[in-house]
Structure 1
Amino acid sequence: MLSFPLRELGVYTPAEMGAVDRLAQQHVPVVTLMENAGRAVARAMRAAMRPARVLVLCGPGNNGGDGYAAARYLLEAGWPVAVAALTEPKAGSAAADVAGRFTGPRVPFVAEESARVDVVVDAVFGAGLARDVAPAVADVLRAAGRVVAVDVPSGVDGGTGQVRGYAPSAELTVTFCRYKPAHLLYPVREKMGRIVLADIGMPSEALEAQPPQAWLNAPGLWRVPELTPESHKYTRGVVSLCAGEAMPGAARLCASGARAAGAGLVRLAAGENAAAFRLGEPGLIVDDAPLAVLLDDARRHVWVCGPGLTEAEVGLTLPQLVEAGRCVLADAGALSAASGRPDALRGVAVITPHAGEFARVFGAIGDDPPARVRQAARQTGAVVVLKGASTLIAAPDGRLAINVHATPALGTAGSGDTLSGVIAAMLAAGMPAWEAACAGVWLHGEAGLRAGPWPVAEALDRHLGAARAEAERRQGLSAREQGVI
């Protein structure tokens, strides 16, 4: 059974959450959950803003039912509230029951009503929307000044993060029980404003019966190995890198990232180019022996291939590493060499493309990034780290982590080389590939947050030790104690 912190970090697609809702009915009435959801919306609004004139836009489904409940609780708190229904709930449904309890004013579902109030609560469509928002509905939403969204802003596909026709930008979004992918995926994440994840009493039995396949990336989803009195450089792990002639800086950044993240020993396989690297950091070992000779050392199990390499250099090194059964992280030049040939990456453990590299290897990301990254992982048999504002980490077995613990300041040349080194250090320490990738991405993001505004890639190294210490501190805490939900 999953640990409690791990369960908290689960991210559910709308279909998975729909299954949870159906399972929950065996333990608690739907009306009770709907009332709890509406109470949570009202509570979040009262905490975030002064009393104001409110119009609650309600759809006919459960999302609308949450809106009716929120309207009643705001009305009971003394706020001037009216409801506008797109369509009345189906007779006999839980939403109809809750709608009947609202005794305040009702107004037409038109743009003029949205425009005349201070705040519009958008409870029209939830995360499971499967069609574009109709123009007439979009007009009503567009007329709103300030918007509070229930679950997601109407028009947002909760599973893919795509906007279906139109979606308003909310200043506050209140969702329930667990995040959906859209809450974490940029650029649609920016439409959510501040997100409140509310506990509405969802039975644990329902959640356990429908486990997620995606998680918010945070300590507790993985554990970085901790030092013991008997730790030494080989128990901490050896990271080896293939170094090339044309761009030595990339290999240096990767090596520095691995060392700063805790690798016990980092070695550069530079061959004839060894002299160009020997004037660097004194703790970095530079090898000039042929790769075939270096592979005789079984302790050198983890290799990074790609940073600073030309496609020709990749062609001389990557096949040897795979043939020798090494644990390989492929990045940069290795991805360029695999352009249009994803099968060329079979046998590697982890690949770390940015969006452009991903598209060159696998084709367009398309409208469903989580599904596309999972497909790439299955196709190659490798963990795929799609770097971006929301970094996606997919395993071949379908597990997916979504990382938002980062900063735009990481978008600087060389930052990705550092990340490759950090992940390699986690692999060398004995972490499985998916967990190592998740931990490396989080540590890299934490270092970026600590590095302050406008850091260069070299600056990240100074903060990776503190980032690892912070991960060790947090990984025994629940997600709420960490402040990530």
Structure 2
Amino acid sequence: MHLLSTQDMARADRLTIENGVAGAKLMWNAAEAVADTVRKVAGPDRPIRILCGPGNNGGDGYALGAILASEWRDVTIFALGEPAPGSDASWALSKWNCPVGDLSDYRPAHSDLIVDALFGAGLSRPLDGQAAAVVERVNSSGACVVAIDVPSGIGGDDGRIHGAAVRADHTVTFFRGKPGHWLYPGRAHRGELHLKDIGIDDSVLNGIGSRFRLNGPLLWNSEWPKPKEETHKYERGAVAVLSGNRLSTGASRLSARAAARMGAGAVTIIAPKEAASIHAAHLTAIMVHQAEEADEVIERLSDGRERAVVAGPGYGVGAPLCDMVLGLLALDRRTCGHRTTVLDADVLTSFRDEPDVLFAAIRNSDHRVVLTPHDGEFARLFPDLSSNDRPKTVRVADAADRSGAVVLLKGADTVIAEPKGRIAINPNGTPLLATAGSGDVLAGMIAGLCAQSMPVFEACCAAAWCHAEAGSSFGPGLIADDLPEQLPDVLRRLHQREGDKE
């Protein structure tokens, strides 16, 4: 569940060493862990070529070479520079009792098993010169590559390519994964990820306080809503979805149906007259309430019946929607209880010229608020945070801190952040979800879980994971209409897995 930044991992190493485990011992343990993967991939006879850098990543490579050479395997090491005297990497080099070739001389063969031990997760400058040249040769060779920690050239914190990057078939990392393993493009370069124990005790996590999490059931299943036997539909949780005009009713129906499928006991679409008649013709389990003006909608929602509201899908961009949202956020706890408001799509675009007005309303509100932008909407609300000069996780966390909302930035590597709190990366995204209306479904799913009193961050994480599972379950040909209908099977499998654990 925990992911560690490069600084977090360095601290984990330091705390372990302070507790009496030598740095050289950790390096040797890491090499043993990589050797286990290399043996399985290379088989008994494949030539093994280890490419070592001058730092600790290279030290892992030297130790790996010593281990494999002791097994009489065909192992050769090529290096870029030498380790610093007195370092753990220098100690590991002393265990390698064979010549070391110059990296510039290495010409990979298709039959090689290449171990990338050039640069680790802390790389902060672009690869160039010999390093960039050998990376290009390795990627062009078609040989199988096992990377140590991260593929060289990939940033451990941001997943970005620094000049050039190895494309690995396998990556072996230690203790906990890193954000760069799960953020694109790093995620596309790492191949199969192997997480190995090297003797760092789990208790060191208490001294690190990492904000990063890998999204999945382990993160939120303990908060999953469990209806009581004596519950009724409104106690189970009610959701309201605000609809736009008669020509754009589909988006709100997608949100409403998704909220119902996620377990909300009662879902109501609030729509103007002409749109309400269209909804009524399409819906059975979803209720429809007619409200023409903003003050009518706010009046309808002021009784606190609905614990969650979705605003934005298909509503229409403009000042009327801004006024509606500001009015909703101004409803206090005495009238609307602990409500969650999910702001999506047209709401995010409507506030592009005055985002601070929205953020002030959120911070002054009794509501729990979720913002669910895609990249374009994120750039409109947070223009100074939209450039890629910082990790995606940091940009989303800054947006959450600034807005006072939980922010879910949609994409192949969806990131969810809570203000001053946790940051989660969703691991099971699929390109099948890149279809119109998919985000409307996700907004409804979040509202459906929040209406059942699931904590907001956990609800966003659970919805993102289940959303991706639904897309993958359907497969090719998916359209947004299919997603809510896949949810019962996703939830059934999720509950079955938890039942098996018990």
TM-score (normalizing by structure 1): 0.93
103-112 vs 151-160, which moves further: 103-112
Q: Which residue in 2 is equivalent to 1:156?
A: 154
Q: Deviations over 1:268-287 (max 9, x none)?
A: 11132321211122111100
Q: Given that residues 342 and 447 in structure 2 are in contact (C-alpha distance below 8 angstroms), is that contact kept between their aligned partners in structure 1?
A: yes
Q: Which residue in 1 is equivalent to 2:335?
A: none
3-state SS of paired residue (2:101): coil
Q: Which residue in 1 is equivalent to 2:347?
A: 334
Distance 1:241 1:98, change over 3 A: same
Q: CA deviation at 1:398?
A: 3.4
Aligned length: 471
Q: Given that residues 270 and 286 in structure 1 are in contact (C-alpha distance below 8 angstroms), is that contact kept between their aligned partners in structure 2?
A: yes
Q: Which residue in 1 is equivalent to 2:183?
A: 185
Q: Which residue in 2 is equivalent to 1:12?
A: 4
How far apart are the structure 2 equivalents of 1:82 and 1:217? 39
How far apart are the structure 2 equivalents of 1:445 and 1:150? 29
Q: Which residue in 1 is equivalent to 2:136?
A: 142
Distance 1:453 1:426, change over 3 A: same
Q: Given that residues 305 and 317 in structure 1 are in contact (C-alpha distance below 8 angstroms), is that contact kept between their aligned partners in structure 2?
A: no
How far apart are the structure 2 equivalents of 1:424 and 1:78? 60
Q: Deviations over 1:281-329 (max 9, x none)?
A: 2111100142133123212231100001112341342112111144210
Q: Structure 1: which 4+ aligned runs deviate by more than 3 Å?
A: 111-117, 469-478
Q: Which residue in 1 is equivalent to 2:378?
A: 358
Q: How does 1:293-372 map to 2 (within 5 A)?
A: 293-312=299-318, 313-325=320-332, 326-346=339-359, 347=362, 349-363=369-383, 364-367=386-389, 368-372=391-395
Structure 1: where are the runs of 5+ without partners?
A: 1-8
Q: CA deviation at 1:85?
A: 2.1
Q: Which residue in 2 is equivalent to 1:24?
A: 16
Q: Which residue in 2 is equivalent to 1:458?
A: 481
Q: Which residue in 2 is equivalent to 1:233?
A: 233
Q: Which residue in 1 is equivalent to 2:260?
A: 259
How far apart are the structure 1 equivalents of 2:411 and 2:85? 46
Distance 1:382 1:227, change over 3 A: same
Q: Which residue in 2 is equivalent to 1:375?
A: 398
Q: CA deviation at 1:380?
A: 0.7
Q: Given that residues 242 and 304 in structure 1 are in contact (C-alpha distance below 8 angstroms), is that contact kept between their aligned partners in structure 2?
A: yes
Matched to 2:321, the amino acid is: V
3-state SS of paired residue (2:194): strand
Q: Given that residues 111 and 140 in structure 1 are in contact (C-alpha distance below 8 angstroms), is that contact kept between their aligned partners in structure 2?
A: no
3-state SS of paired residue (1:22): helix
Distance 1:295 1:172, change over 3 A: same
Q: Deviations over 1:4-33 (max 9, x none)?
A: xxxxx1011101111111111023111221
Matched to 1:253, the amino acid is: L
Q: CA deviation at 1:474?
A: 4.6
Q: Given that residues 240 and 310 in structure 2 are in contact (C-alpha distance below 8 angstroms), is that contact kept between their aligned partners in structure 1?
A: yes
- Sequence identity percentage: 40
How far apart are the structure 1 equivalents of 2:105 and 2:256? 58
3-state SS of paired residue (1:25): helix
Matched to 1:450, the amino acid is: S
Structure 2: where are the runs of 5+ without partners?
A: 333-338, 363-367
3-state SS of paired residue (1:167): coil
Distance 1:214 1:57, change over 3 A: same
Matched to 1:186, the amino acid is: Y
Q: How does 1:56-455 map to 2 (within 5 A)?
A: 56-114=50-108, 118-144=112-138, 145=141, 146=143, 147-223=145-221, 224-245=224-245, 246-272=247-273, 273-289=275-291, 290-312=296-318, 313-325=320-332, 326-346=339-359, 347=362, 349-363=369-383, 364-367=386-389, 368-455=391-478
Q: Deviations over 1:384-425 (max 9, x none)?
A: 110001000011113100002232111111111110000001
How far apart are the structure 2 equivalents of 1:78 and 1:334? 65
464-473 vs 9-18, which moves further: 464-473
How far apart are the structure 2 equivalents of 1:36 and 1:256? 51
Q: Given that residues 151 and 173 in structure 1 are in contact (C-alpha distance below 8 angstroms), is that contact kept between their aligned partners in structure 2?
A: yes
How far apart are the structure 2 equivalents of 1:341 and 1:178? 41
- Note the aligned Cα RMSD (angstroms): 2.0
Q: CA deviation at 1:140?
A: 1.9
How far apart are the structure 2 equivalents of 1:450 and 1:286? 30
Distance 1:87 1:282, change over 3 A: same
How far apart are the structure 1 equivalents of 2:204 and 2:298? 54
417-426 vs 75-84, which moves further: 75-84
3-state SS of paired residue (2:51): strand
Q: CA deviation at 1:40?
A: 1.3
Distance 1:452 1:113, change over 3 A: closer
Q: CA deviation at 1:76?
A: 2.8
Q: Given that residues 307 and 450 in structure 2 are in contact (C-alpha distance below 8 angstroms), is that contact kept between their aligned partners in structure 1?
A: no
Distance 1:342 1:135, change over 3 A: farther
How far apart are the structure 1 equivalents of 2:398 and 2:496? 34
308-317 vs 426-435, which moves further: 308-317
How far apart are the structure 2 equivalents of 1:340 and 1:370? 24
Q: Deviations over 1:25-67 (max 9, x none)?
A: 0231112211111111111122223332222111222111111
Q: Given that residues 155 and 186 in structure 2 are in contact (C-alpha distance below 8 angstroms), is that contact kept between their aligned partners in structure 1?
A: no
How far apart are the structure 1 equivalents of 2:160 and 2:353? 26
Q: Deviations over 1:356-407 (max 9, x none)?
A: 1111221224232111111111111011110001000011113100002232
Q: Given that residues 302 and 331 in structure 2 are in contact (C-alpha distance below 8 angstroms), is that contact kept between their aligned partners in structure 1?
A: no
How far apart are the structure 2 equivalents of 1:198 and 1:30? 17
Q: Given that residues 115 and 143 in structure 1 are in contact (C-alpha distance below 8 angstroms), is that contact kept between their aligned partners in structure 2?
A: no
How far apart are the structure 1 equivalents of 2:36 and 2:413? 29
Q: CA deviation at 1:73?
A: 2.3
How far apart are the structure 1 equivalents of 2:161 and 2:184? 11
Q: Given that residues 340 and 369 in structure 2 are in contact (C-alpha distance below 8 angstroms), is that contact kept between their aligned partners in structure 1?
A: yes
